[in-house]
Structure formats: structure tokens, C-alpha cells
Amino acid sequence: MKKKKIITLLTDFGGNDFFSGVLKGVILNINPNVEIIDITHNISSFNIHEGALKLAWSYKYFPRGTIHVAVVDPGVGGGRCPLMVKYQNHFFVVPDNGILSYVLKENNNFKAVEIKEKKYMLKNISCNFHARDIFCPAAAHLSKNAKLKNFGPEIKKIQKIKIYESGQYEDEIHGNVVYIDKFGNCITNIENNLIKNKKIRIKNFYIKKISSSYEIQNVKSRANLLAIPGSSGCLEIAIPKANAGSLLNIKIGEKIIVK
């Protein structure tokens, strides 16, 4: 049996409206033999940074050849151009507004085109719903084996947004909380392999030992705070069965020091 192509969707359209459903109709109309998977439609409205992070954390778990439509697009209908990008055998169909900034953090070995070919778009292009009119149709045609180069002219440089990066300062590593998940766990940008046998500081809290689970094992800290090698590949700060983010009033960007 021929393997179905997969298209993933990541947007800030929310789940209350009908937008995400319409995207699937558009795709299935073009290619009925594609598997559509929602990453999430609940990116905070207009928050490109959050979309960029979640895309980078998700895409690798999908099979090679997967097509990722990621649309957080405050500039829809304006000057930003629609992109189709191939990177590490994954495809990305996105507005050129920085949403690939974390995906392309490691290197720039990508191939990108601007999506210009009208035959790969819906007939009527609206001002404000390019996910439906441009991005998803392009993804659906790509899943039917249309070639990257046929979608439009090659693009050499794509937009980046400022991302949080950790760094070494003498014997310390300085980083940031980059995301706080539903449980209040604070995900940082300091890689797990840098925290072995280290101590952690966040705000005025000191964590003296890295934990290996949320069940505290001989770890004492104020507020039951613990540090754990996170599933995203980076250090996380958490409180067992409680919401560390809100209890300690931690915000995105909060500084964290590993020593």
C-alpha cells in the first residue's frame, strides 16, 4: 500500500471557530489521500515566537517527507511573502515572518521558494485567510508530488525573529525560560547535557540538585521547586503537581543561571 503523505497544521486560529475545519476541507478537496494532523490551533493570537518554538519542538517527530503548514500571520494580506521551504527532508509552508527561526537555528541548509504559481492557489484569494487560499492549497498540491521549484522563484534569505539564546559567562550558563506549558512547567533554552551535577538559580530560588522525575527524591528547595532534564531537550523548572509558572510568577524570558 502506498504510504499516505502527512500534512500537519499549526495555527493561532483557535478551536472555537470553523477555520481549522475549512483548512481540512480545502486540502481534502485537492488531495483526498492525505493524512491531516493538528499540532495545535491554539497558538496565542499573533504570537510568532510561540508558533516558531512549538513548530521546532514538533516537526522532528513526524516522518521525513511530512509537510508542515504553520500559519501565525499578523501580516496576512500585507507585504510578507508566502514560502515553501525544504529542510532536513521536512517541508514547511509558512508566511515569511520568522516562524522558522527556531527550526533553522542550527543551520541554514534549506531550500526555499516563494509561492507564486496561481494554479496552486484557490481561485479567489481573500485579504485575510491565506491559510485557506494559499498555504493549504500549496501544501495539498505538494503532497500530490508537485515539485518545490514549480511553486515559484527561489528565495535565498528568509526572515528571522529574535530568539532566546543561552550563553556561557565564565563558569555560569545564562539562559531563559522560553515557554510555560499547561502544567506550569517552565521550559528553558539550556540543553540537558549542560546541567549534569549543576545548581540552578531562577529569581531568588536556588535548586541544588537536578531531579530525574517529578516525584521528589531527596531534593529540598523552597516551594518544592525542582529542575529536571526536559522532554524538549532542555532544562525545565517545575513544582510537582502544581503550576510553577503561576505560583512563582515566572514569565517568558525569565533569566535562569546554571552553575
Give, as ranges, the residues between 48 and 107 that touch a second copy (CB under 8 A): 54, 57-59, 61-63, 66, 74-79
Q: Which is nearer to a second copy, 158 or 226 (CB)?
A: 226
Give the HSE-up count for residue 119: Cα atoms under 13 Å, Cβ half-sphere. Answer: 5
Query: Sign of the C-alpha dihedral, residues 14, 15, 18, 23?
Result: positive
> Which of 230, 245, 254, 256 lies at the binding interface for a second copy (CB under 8 A)?
230
Least distance (Å) from a second copy to the CB of residue 109?
Answer: 22
Least distance (Å) from a second copy to the CB of residue 1?
Answer: 7
Least distance (Å) from a second copy to the CB of residue 111?
Answer: 22
> Which of 98, 175, 229, 245 lies at the binding interface for a second copy (CB under 8 A)?
229
Q: Can you tell me whether residue 193 is helix, strand or coil?
A: helix
Contact yes or no for 71/40 (Cβ under 8 A)? no
Q: Which is nearer to a second copy, 18 or 169 (CB)?
A: 18
Contact yes or no for 244/237 (Cβ under 8 A)? yes
Owner of C-alpha cell 532566546: 164
Please name which of 145, 143, 115, 113 lies closest in space to residue 26, comparing C-alpha atoms: 143
Q: Which is nearer to a second copy, 129 or 151 (CB)?
A: 129
Contact yes or no for 93/134 (Cβ under 8 A)? no
Q: Which is nearer to a second copy, 86 or 174 (CB)?
A: 86
> Which of 46, 106, 118, 220 lies at the binding interface for a second copy (CB under 8 A)?
46
Least distance (Å) from a second copy to the CB of residue 121?
Answer: 14
The reply on whether position 246 binds a second copy by CB under 8 A is: no
> Which of 72, 110, 119, 231 lies at the binding interface for a second copy (CB under 8 A)?
231
The backbone region for 8, taken as left when phi is positive above 0, alpha when psi lies in -120 to 50, beta otherwise, is beta
Please tell me the chain's helix, strand, coil percentages from 3-state DSSP, rounded to the nearest 5.
Answer: 20, 30, 50
Select the span of 27-35, 111-119, 159-167, 244-252 touching a second copy (CB under 8 A): 27-35
Count residues contacting a second copy (CB under 8 A)?
Answer: 71
**Residues 163-222, interacting with a second copy (CB under 8 A):** 181-183, 185, 211-215
**Residues 115-174, interacting with a second copy (CB under 8 A):** 126-129, 132-133
Contact yes or no for 17/192 (Cβ under 8 A)? no
Q: Where are any strands of DSSP class E within 52-119?
A: 67-71, 82-87, 90-95, 111-114
Alpha carbon distance 83, 115 (integer Å): 6
> Which of 37, 161, 223, 247 lies at the binding interface for a second copy (CB under 8 A)?
37
